[in-house]
Structure 1
């Protein structure tokens, strides 16, 4: 789906009332589900084949659905944001001192009364943020396009990203992918992607980059200052598509405009332009693109693809680095982990920056900046590579990796020494409403996800268990329900072949069980194949439904912009009815 279509769909969704949707989602059952533990274990072969040396770290630095990264720096502190779409809170933000070790600070847009994606499709909500530190007023700015609640382009500010952000300020311009730049004299500018002037669109995918003067005192664009600074892309005669994600930089007195081109897919690239003024004219570098993976064989080993949508920052020892999105497809070329955040050093010793080794097949390891120690996965730092994450939900503060969809997780869950309690909403996973599901991103092509569930459904409309979800119309539900006086585990496949119209629901398999105590549920993925199993003794797992395809959990099949999510799910609106023989 093109972004213009999403804009129209989101605008329609935004007409729905927050009060109505919120009250509907809050209809909770009196039969809560208790999840007492979770173990997520990554098992990708590439990390087994490429163990780290003491001076190395892995890229991607953020595995799973963390696309569209933007980055800024204040002193020795680096802050990075990513797209979140209808996931909640909106716009995940991370902090680092060295670009290797990152801590998760949660989400920038965490007030549901101000950012509420309650009735949007999963790929709507909010995406393509920019983050900029302004040294002239010691303030951080996060700017983003919000496809919910009629917000449009908004900016939020803070003096300290670790202490939260102010309320959204609505900005009066259209288009998407905005970012803010502050010149040496303190003057502000906004650049963004937009449609060509009316009547001047030359082909499908023809877009432009615009610049506005930004009123820093009043936080608004200055009317009448908008100007097209790139038309189409590097070479309009070649009909380039989707010039987007612009960022302005200044170096040695010149202005540089870096953009993505080619669309988020196999033709994705990063390109650079130069000017004597932030308002152009901008001349493309003769060496474009400066980052891409589009030139290499489709069947290459350990493929990384779709590289682009980047941002630059000066890192340790004055070495430039670029963060960008890319994907790691599985053996069937499926993109189940979604678009992830990668990093590369950037050589800017010449006139134009170039991503080091960004024009050859990307490798999983990088040399660490001088003097930096790899602490990923320890002391609260985000893990990468193959890792195991265990959770018993006994901590006072739930890890930020656990997220809601279309609303806050706190609306349906609570934690205690007993575990995680989910109070089921009267909504189904297939509805475009907040569901009572606590999600964790799929971060590996091969993984296991195991949970212990204490729950007894009271009727066939009650179900609790796990889901593997790409969107509301492309997911698997695996859980415990009841039929007459008997308990069952049931596996339901929900698919949306045309990406519109009715969702097709199919019971893959079900099995009657003796539910005397807790039950363990497990999802196992090996590339494109998934299995769903259960255990009543905590040790021996039985697969239900055999091996199923992960195709519907992939972006290239299900559409949209997100990766697969693995969730702890409970509902009082179940329609996954067991097959009774």
Structure 2
């Protein structure tokens, strides 16, 4: 079996050999994980729903190989990293692997959850797939390759001469390869957020840069207006001309996508006029509009066999103001061309939630739901976690195993708020209206805890856990809203429960926009509410960073 296919299987297998040496009261057993989310009725026939990947799937990059499309996303310091998706119709996406799936490939150490992998770019040339990306604060820019996009992917080949972030790889029709990315401008930055785009030749045989980098964009479309954060560049060749598209304006509500054009691959690149640029943004729309989609940008364009063009990009869905918990999501829209320039969405037009499908035959194979209303159940079959599950940072010492229809977590000293390697596995919250529930069997020592947590990062999380306090079993509701709060979270409520030690207890987190309800049930009994907590601490606006909320089981030792 390949690690790409089975994600966390290696780490689980490593724990299996040591599980017999872990005391019984240090193992929490989780069964019957159920995630459910609401997002309206199914779209009409011939239509699709945006986003196509709901939840924390930012910075999409897409490539086509024959009838097949492949897409990757940023994962920052979550492991395994860089999910690889496959589709035949651009609408239904199936995860086929993770490009970073072995602890030896990268080490996130104690990085914050919004460091690590930024903006991977996937492309294909001469039978080989390439991903070029940045590991922020953990090595810089690198390339990995694979013959099969499902993996295995190679160990990173580092590009020490390439500074900055967000590299992408372009193969010209003459076979030459170029890397373009965001770097510092020439001389001191003129203002905060002043960045530049640089190009440099890349040798795919030696996997090395060839030197002589050239700045092709300084600042952005209109340097006099002091544009900020030009990033995420991609190059296309259309009808003999070279088009450079990039994000501009930062990843918040001023986000946009812009385009430049040149007759030569290394420029000079001239921006489209203001009547064309930006080719995608939502910043000009009324922020008070109902059900807004905001912060659109970081697009990648792909051409279909029939010659038409489509774009994947990121955007967000606030539940109020600029508050959103589920992160930046992957969207899809057609691209129109006029007078030699592409446009993803005309200025002032809102991103549609329901739109006509691409003229591609749907993939006949059923795929796990990635958008819309759905329920997924994980009874932990086999001996590995499904690809939906991730953990915080690279697992040095695995703390979980799967077997007998259950996930077992070792209650270790590291907690979620310790900026370390907690016994915690999670999957994305993909809806504003959602719930996650699991059955836990645990014999906690004093102060130990096992349960469910919704995590934005080490300093912003909430949850509900089964614990022992004063020698008695209790269910504790907790939240951590900043770095000054206890690493195990502040106790919001603690309820003693009438259950025998070692009997199963069900735990549930329910979200409705900013409100998270924490509940428990003993055995098959009715749900009992423990607390309703303010979930805006999980929003990007309050927590900062670039990720989205993850929900899943945890276990920790007593303190």
Same-fold call, TM cutoff 0.5: yes
| 1:410-429 matched pairs, under 5 angstroms | 411-429=398-416
Q: Distance in 1 between matches of 2:319 and 2:305?
A: 34
Q: In structure 2, how many angstroms separate the alpha carbons of the residues matched to 1:343 and 1:410? A: 39
Conservation of the 8 A alpha-carbon contact between 1:41 and 1:447: yes
Q: Does 1:101 align with 2:92?
A: yes
| Structure 2: gaps of 5 or more residues | 1-14
What is the distance in 2 between the residues matched to 1:344 and 1:194? 29
Aligned-residue offset at 1:425: 2.4
Pick from 268, 275, 284 the counterpart of residue 295 of structure 1. Answer: 284
Look up the match of 2:27.
32
2: distance between equivalents of 1:397 and 1:501?
34
CA–CA distance in structure 2, aligned partners of residues 417 and 28 of structure 1: 17
Give the secondary structure class of the aligned counterpart of 1:237. helix
What is the CA–CA distance in structure 2 between the aligned matches of 1:29 and 1:128, rounded to whole Å?
42
Query: Which residue is 1:246 aligned to?
Result: 233
State the distance in 2 between where 1:238 and 1:558 align: 30
Aligned residues: 535
Whether contact under 8 Å (2:383, 2:401) holds in the other structure is no
- 1:459 and 1:104 map into 2 onto residues whose CA distance is 41
Superposed CA deviations along residues 222-253 of structure 1, whole A, max 9, x for unmatched, are 12x10110000000000100000000110111
1:521 corresponds to: 507
Counterpart contact for 1:28–1:425, Cα < 8 Å? no
1:220 and 2:208 equivalent? yes
2:167 to 178, 197, 208: 178
Of 409-418 and 75-84, more deviation after overlay is shown by 409-418
Q: Give me the whole-angstrom Cα distance separating, in 2, the residues matched to 1:398 and 1:465.
A: 18
Q: Equivalent residues in 2 for 1:431-510 (5 A)?
A: 431-460=418-447, 462-496=448-482, 505-510=489-494
What is the CA–CA distance in structure 2 between the aligned matches of 1:184 and 1:374, rounded to whole Å?
30
CA contact (8 A) 2:382 2:405 kept: no
In the alignment, is the contact (CA less than 8 A) between 1:248 and 1:256 conserved in 2?
yes
Question: Structure 1 residue 538: deviation in Å?
Answer: 2.7
Q: Is contact 1:57–1:374 with CA below 8 Å preserved after alignment?
A: no
Question: 8 Å contact 2:78–2:394 — kept in the other structure?
Answer: yes
Aligned partners of 2:72, 2:263: CA distance in 1, in Å? 29
- 1:305-324 → structure 2 map (5 Å cutoff): 305-315=294-304, 317-324=306-313
Question: Within 2, Cα distance between the matches of 1:535 and 1:409?
Answer: 34
Task: Write the deviation string for residues 245-280 of structure 1: whole angstroms up to 9, x where unpaired.
Answer: 000110111000000000000100000000011111
Where 1:228 maps in the other structure, the secondary structure is strand
Q: Is the 8 A contact 1:91 1:127 kept in 2?
A: no
TM-score, normalized by length of structure 1? 0.88
Distance in 1 between the 2:207 and 2:459 partners?
39
CA distance in 2, matches of 1:334, 1:317: 40
Aligned to 2:115: 124
How far off is 1:148 after superposition?
4.5
Over 3 Å counting, the alpha-carbon distance change for 1:33 and 1:90 in structure 2 is: same
Matching of residues 523-542 of structure 1 within 5 Å: 523-542=509-528
Structure-1 separation of matches of 2:90 and 2:396: 29
Call closer, same or farther: CA 1:36–1:410 in 2, change over 3 Å: farther
2:250 to 263, 287, 292: 263
Q: Secondary structure at the match of 1:552?
A: helix
Query: Could you report, residue by residue, the CA deviation over 1:417-453 in whole angstroms, capped at 9, with x for unpaired residues?
Result: 2411112222011011111111011100011111111
- Secondary structure, counterpart of 1:430 in structure 2: helix
Deviation, 1:504, is 9.5
User: Secondary structure at 2:394's aligned position in 1?
Assistant: coil
SS in 2 for 1:561: coil
Who is 1:5 aligned against? Answer: none
User: Alignment partner for residue 80 of structure 1, among 71, 74, 96?
Assistant: 71
Aligned equivalents of 1:79, 1:117: Cα separation in 2: 26
Any idea what SS the aligned residue of 1:193 has? strand
Report the equivalent of 1:566.
551
Instruction: Structure 1: give runs of 5+ residues left out of the alignment.
Output: 1-21, 576-581
CA distance in 2, matches of 1:222, 1:65: 36
Aligned to 1:394: 381
Query: Structure 1's 541 and 313: CA in aligned 2 closer, same or farther, altered over 3 A?
Result: same
The more displaced of 527-536 and 332-341 is: 332-341
Q: Aligned pair in 2 of structure 1 residues 116, 148: CA closer, same or farther (>3 Å)?
A: farther
For the Cα contact (< 8 Å) 1:337–1:443, is it kept in 2? yes
- Contact 2:106 2:394 (8 Å CA) reproduced: no
Matching residue of 1:190: 179
**1:191–1:210: 8 Å Cα contact kept in structure 2?**
yes
- For residues 503 and 178 of structure 1, what CA distance do their matches in structure 2 show? 36
Q: 1:268 to 1:337 in 2, by over 3 A?
A: same
2:103 equivalent to 1:112: yes
Q: How much has 1:28 moved relative to structure 2?
A: 6.8
| 1:284 equivalent in alignment to 2:271 | yes
User: Which residue of structure 2 lines up, in the alignment, with residue 53 of structure 1?
Assistant: 44
1:551 aligns with 2:536: yes
Mapped contact 1:89–1:106 kept (Cα < 8 A): no
SS across alignment from 2:74:
coil
- Encode CA deviations 1:56-110: one digit per residue, 9 max, x unaligned: 1111111111100111111111111100001101111101122122110231011
**TM-score, normalised with respect to structure 2:** 0.92
Which residue in the other structure is 1:203 paired with? 191
Cα-Cα RMSD: 2.1
> In 2, distance between residues paired with 1:86 and 1:319?
36
3-state SS of paired residue (1:113): coil
List aligned pairs for 1:324-363, cutoff 5 A: 324-356=313-345, 359-363=348-352
